[in-house]
Amino acid sequence: MGRSPCREEISGVKKGPWTPEEDEKLIDYITKHSHGSWRTLPKRAGLNRCGKSCRLRWTNYLRPDIKRGQFTEEDERTIINLHSVLGNKWSKIAAHLPGRTDNEIKNYWNTHIRKKLLKMGIDPETHKPRTDLNHLMSLSQLLGMSNLSSVMNSTWGNNHLGLQQDINQLAKIQLLQNLLQLMNSNSFVNMGNPYLFGNPNLNPLFLNGINPLKEPVVLSGSERFANPSVYSQAQSECSQQQDVSKSLAIAQDPDYSKISSTNTYHSHENQEENPLPALVAASPRMGTLNPMGSGCGNLAQTSEESPSNTFFDDWEKLFDDERSGSYWKEILELTSTSASPIMW
């Protein structure tokens, strides 16, 4: 049972943007007397506003410890990492970014990060490759354009051959990624599948500088997850689902145990499926498509398991093998090791 937003509204309190005079009154009053009861504050401070409006104005804008200005790349990475585990728990995310408000982070997510991830072909809700029809359609259109470009090259010269290859590779990679995602959601068991989970190049957590096999999570400015036993306990709690994301959530969120019994914990609904490569560049020529800055985009140097030089080399090799037939064979071999049959 909720309550009406502002009872004072009935008596015609002011709404809308705050004036500098109102701000001054509010700051002056709170610095002298602290806010006390928000409901009675407007009267005490001589403001024609509802208490809730005063509280929001103070916490989101006037508080002296508010950090203004652009989000740094590190901020952005932290937000993405935390969002992948916590979901839209903006206040929890804000707790890891001193001086930033939940409202500010929420706005930044919706206006910047969300779009960036969508452009990358990543679902901002699940942090996994998009599998929705529209996106797949656009990819198939991309492939169609690529083929058209190929025809044009053969007709009018090969000036655009490089671009055409890039588009082609990008579309193929994205399509394969989506295909794997679909298979993955049905049958893959990540923890037992080193190809996906154990490979630093293929796990989103590794991509963000986190090794989920060695440490719970690395979050700037936080030591909440420094206790390995908490994480391992969380992991064992989730062993049936083999869901590392759930483990992370439990390790991080002291409220999880309360919520988990109801089976409504937000991020878990999204994390039921297994993670797949989060970021894919079209080809080395196009450079790394890295939405989060330099800190997490260097996929090549972290590889210990692949004989190839880079993550992209692996993918390119895979696509090169397409012609020899081993491309699909490799996928089929991969899927045949999983527990249950693939539903096509």
Among 73, 75, 103, 143, indicate the residue that binds DNA (CB under 7 A). Answer: 103
What whole-number distance in Å separates Cα of residue 98 and Cα of residue 104?
A: 12
Cα separation, 59 vs 264, in Å, equals 29
Closest contact distance (angstroms) between CB of 51 and DNA is 6
Which of 92, 160 has the CB closer to DNA?
Answer: 92
Among 10, 20, 34, 37, binds DNA (CB under 7 A): 37
Q: How far is the CB of 10 from DNA (least distance, A)?
A: 11
Taking the complex as a whole, the smallest distance from the CB of residue 87 to DNA amounts, in Å, to 8
Closest CB 157 distance from DNA, rounded Å: 29
In this complex, which beta carbon is closest to DNA, that of residue 67 or of residue 329?
A: 67
| Residue placing its CB nearer to DNA in the complex, 86 or 180 | 86
Q: Is 291 helix (H, G, I), strand (E, B) or coil?
A: coil
Q: Which of 27, 75, 92, 182 binds DNA (CB under 7 A)?
A: 92
> Of these, 76, 81, 84, 90, which contacts DNA (CB under 7 A)?
90
Among 42, 51, 216, 275, binds DNA (CB under 7 A): 51
- Give, as ranges, the residues between 127 and 186 that touch DNA (CB under 7 A): none
Residue listed under structure tokens 């996929």: 299
Instruction: Calculate the alpha carbon distances from 203 to 23, 61, 195, 199 in Å.
Output: 47, 38, 9, 6
Kindly identify the residues of this chain, within the stretch 16-35, that bind DNA according to CB under 7 A. 16-18
Own/partner long-range contacts of 251-259 (Cβ < 8 Å, ≥24 apart): 251/216, 251/217, 251/225, 252/85, 252/86, 252/216, 252/217, 252/224, 252/225, 253/86, 253/92
**3 near DNA (CB under 7 A):** yes
Binding mask 262-301 for DNA (x = CB under 7 A): ----------------------------------------
Shortest Å, Cβ 33 to DNA: 13
* Phi, psi of 164, rounded to the nearest 5 degrees: -60, -40
Q: From CA 289, how far away is CA 280, in angstroms rounded?
A: 7
What mask, x for binding DNA by CB under 7 A, covers residues 212 to 251?
----------------------------------------
**Could you give the CA distance from residue 134 to residue 276 in angstroms, rounded to a whole number?**
20
Between CA 282 and CA 243 the distance in angstroms is 29
Pick from 116, 175, 103: nearest CA to 297: 116
Q: What DSSP designation does 128 have?
A: E
